[in-house]
Chains A and B, each alone.
Chain A
């Protein structure tokens, strides 16, 4: 059962090949037996999962036609879940039981999906290797000496190790697409505002967006159908008509124009990764698409702009963790200032502290114009690069990450080297565009990701372009060793 895609599981549940309870038990058993190796889950919600599975079986028996009814999924531990710990990978929230559900959690519940548990992640989604989690690093199922990417490393490892058929995730600078690339998955970050951020613990509010990690583009479309909604509770959610993202999957790519940004193939890109991406371009040409070289001239400023904007927003968002209302509180505070400082000093890890301090610096009196304002101006230049590109092409294509999965510790002492891991993904968040990563081959038995970037709200087009590639190739069908 665990090698089936979501599309196949939906078939199996409908044809009564297996029940949701059987399917859920099977996954729970696999998690029990195998997750000791990967550490992909922080919390496994066995009882709740079986109760939800029973309810789903009743809905299915009554003829429920909601596609995800009875399908088990995992949620990144950044999404609030009523009555279940939501830690965000931090000691600060180790004891936090959310009093409400995130909108996307509610959407999946309504659709009848079963929650297997909450997945591991970099602390407060800050990291590209899952090494900053309070709950320990996650191992890449393709090579357990290597990182799975981050920050959605637990979601990626769980799906790649076949410990969940799909998982929710979040992407502020590449946190869905980079783990997808490193773990041979399909990872979709929708347009900013397409999916509600309500109940997703905030890191950088103008960049954060929820999305999914799946094994195929078709599964990604099925998952997005249930996840996307307009939500009045998220003031930045965009009121855009919903569509059926599976509807256009089989459209031909004849006449499609793909833009290849020269800046995404420069210095810093692993030559073998570049070869796999070039080979993927040939596949697209054979499918009837035409390619066009384009320029995104402000690409080199994306990482610098991001490391002002994201820390600035992080320092504001994380000021809510004060040891007073919920979360970690230090022992025996001598006064209120001591309570704040020690609760936060003990509750946050090094990377989170670093970003709070950088953000505090960028927002402090005398520096605001030079840093924050300047970065917001550069952000518009980066967006304009894409607006100009989408006047000429339908989608933009390049590598997702500069190189395949790296070993534990390789970048953890060098924050800037770690930040450059997201050099090709960050601009998409700054511009608010949808981006997707799909498998396009291997280098040294480690997966390589191909990134596709679409125009605003063109998730359907992106998924179509990804699905057609997956009909013509079998990279996405390759499974990590010892998982089948």
Chain B
């Protein structure tokens, strides 16, 4: 399936990814090429085949409900672009 420039703008909005207007056309072309490649899947007969998520069909392991992590807030926030009083700063969300 081919995608056009407005599809790319919609996908970019969903992915919260800035794609410049100049780049959107070329991006649409290259993504259409990739989608053409993956469209080969449609010809495969997969009736009755269960989707496979883990090669060994393993299921998620659960651990005991115990506190194992120590407080590392200062370490983790040391690499944040902007923090104040232990909080991450972002532009105002609620006016």
In the complex, the answer to whether A340 meets B34 with C-beta atoms within 8 Å is no
- B33's nearest neighbour on chain A, judged by CB, is A416
Q: List residues of chain B with CB within 8 A of the CB of A268.
A: none
- A240's nearest neighbour on chain B, judged by CB, is B56
In the complex, the answer to whether A344 meets B18 with C-beta atoms within 8 Å is yes
Asked if B27 is an interface residue, CB under 8 A from chain A, the answer is: yes
- A306's nearest neighbour on chain B, judged by CB, is B38
In the complex, the answer to whether A419 meets B41 with C-beta atoms within 8 Å is no
Q: List residues of chain A with CB within 8 A of the CB of B50.
A: 377, 380
In the complex, the answer to whether A304 meets B38 with C-beta atoms within 8 Å is yes
Q: Which residues in window 366-389 of A have CB below 8 A to B?
A: 370-371, 373-381, 383
Contact with A along B30-57 (1 / 0, CB 8 A): 1101111111111010100111111110
Q: Which of A238, A307, A337, A380 contacts B58 (CB 8 A)?
A: A238
B3 CB, min distance to chain A CBs, angstroms: 7
In the complex, the answer to whether A298 meets B44 with C-beta atoms within 8 Å is yes
* Contact surface of B with A, Cβ cutoff 8 Å: 3, 7-8, 11-12, 14-20, 27, 30-31, 33-42, 44, 46, 49-56, 58, 60-61, 63, 72, 75-76, 79-82, 88, 90-93
Q: List residues of chain B with CB within 8 A of the CB of A354.
A: 27, 30-31, 34
Interface-lining segment among A40-48, A217-225, A286-294, A322-330? A322-330
Interface-lining segment among A150-158, A255-263, A357-365? A357-365
In the complex, the answer to whether B17 meets A375 with C-beta atoms within 8 Å is no
In the complex, the answer to whether B91 meets A336 with C-beta atoms within 8 Å is yes
Once A235-B60, A336-B90, A361-B3 are accepted as A-B contacts, the answer to whether A379 and B41 lie under 8 Å apart by CB is no
Asked if A353 is an interface residue, CB under 8 A from chain B, the answer is: yes
Q: List residues of chain A with CB within 8 A of the CB of B41.
A: 301, 304-305, 308, 371, 374-375, 378
In the complex, the answer to whether B30 meets A415 with C-beta atoms within 8 Å is yes
A4 CB, min distance to chain B CBs, angstroms: 36
In the complex, the answer to whether B33 meets A415 with C-beta atoms within 8 Å is yes
In the complex, the answer to whether A373 meets B51 with C-beta atoms within 8 Å is yes
Max count, chain A CB within 10 A of own CB: residue among B8, B20, B80: B80
- Could you tell me the distance between the alpha carbons of A206 and B51 in the complex, rounded to whole angstroms? 13
Question: What are 25 residue pairs bridging A and B, where the CB atoms are less than 8 Å apart in the complex?
Answer: A99-B75, A238-B56, A305-B41, A325-B80, A326-B81, A329-B81, A341-B18, A345-B20, A348-B17, A354-B31, A357-B15, A357-B17, A357-B31, A360-B15, A361-B11, A371-B41, A374-B42, A375-B38, A376-B53, A377-B50, A380-B52, A381-B44, A419-B34, A431-B55, A456-B56
Q: List residues of chain A with CB within 8 A of the CB of B15.
A: 315, 319, 344, 356-357, 360
Q: List residues of chain B with CB within 8 A of the CB of A362.
A: 38
Query: Chain A: interface secondary structure?
Result: helix
Contact with B along A411-428 (1 / 0, CB 8 A): 000111001000000000
Q: List residues of chain B with CB within 8 A of the CB of A379.
A: 51-52
B16 CB, min distance to chain A CBs, angstroms: 4
Q: Which of A298, A305, A345, A375 contacts B19 (CB 8 A)?
A: A345
- A384's nearest neighbour on chain B, judged by CB, is B49
Asked if A303 is an interface residue, CB under 8 A from chain B, the answer is: yes
B21 CB, min distance to chain A CBs, angstroms: 12
Max count, chain B CB within 10 A of own CB: residue among A238, A329, A360: A360
In the complex, the answer to whether B54 meets A206 with C-beta atoms within 8 Å is yes
In the complex, the answer to whether A416 meets B34 with C-beta atoms within 8 Å is yes
Q: Which residues in window 296-319 of A have CB below 8 A to B?
A: 298, 300-301, 303-305, 307-308, 315, 319
Q: Pick the 3 closest A-B CB pairs, nearest first.
A: A432-B55, A345-B18, A376-B51
In the complex, the answer to whether A333 meets B91 with C-beta atoms within 8 Å is yes
- B7's nearest neighbour on chain A, judged by CB, is A361
- Could you tell me the distance between the alpha carbons of A401 and B40 in the complex, rounded to whole angstroms? 21
A298 CB, min distance to chain B CBs, angstroms: 7
Once A96-B79, A325-B88 are accepted as A-B contacts, the answer to whether A377 and B72 lie under 8 Å apart by CB is no
In the complex, the answer to whether A193 meets B31 with C-beta atoms within 8 Å is no
Q: List residues of chain B with CB within 8 A of the CB of A339.
A: 90-91
Asked if A232 is an interface residue, CB under 8 A from chain B, the answer is: yes
In the complex, the answer to whether B55 meets A192 with C-beta atoms within 8 Å is yes
Asked if A342 is an interface residue, CB under 8 A from chain B, the answer is: yes
In the complex, the answer to whether B18 meets A99 with C-beta atoms within 8 Å is no
- Could you tell me the distance between the alpha carbons of A430 and B58 in the complex, rounded to whole angstroms? 15
Once A301-B40, A307-B38, A329-B81 are accepted as A-B contacts, the answer to whether A432 and B60 lie under 8 Å apart by CB is no
- Could you tell me the distance between the alpha carbons of A371 and B40 in the complex, rounded to whole angstroms? 11
Asked if A442 is an interface residue, CB under 8 A from chain B, the answer is: no
Q: List residues of chain A with CB within 8 A of the CB of B91.
A: 333-336, 338-339
A334 CB, min distance to chain B CBs, angstroms: 7
Asked if A95 is an interface residue, CB under 8 A from chain B, the answer is: yes
Once A329-B81, A377-B50, A431-B55 are accepted as A-B contacts, the answer to whether A357 and B11 lie under 8 Å apart by CB is yes
- A381's nearest neighbour on chain B, judged by CB, is B49
- Could you tell me the distance between the alpha carbons of A298 and B30 in the complex, rounded to whole angstroms? 25
Q: Which residues in window 200-232 of A have CB below 8 A to B?
A: 206, 232
- Could you tell me the distance between the alpha carbons of A345 and B61 in the complex, rounded to whole angstroms? 36
In the complex, the answer to whether B81 meets A380 with C-beta atoms within 8 Å is no
- Could you tell me the distance between the alpha carbons of A163 and B76 in the complex, rounded to whole angstroms? 33
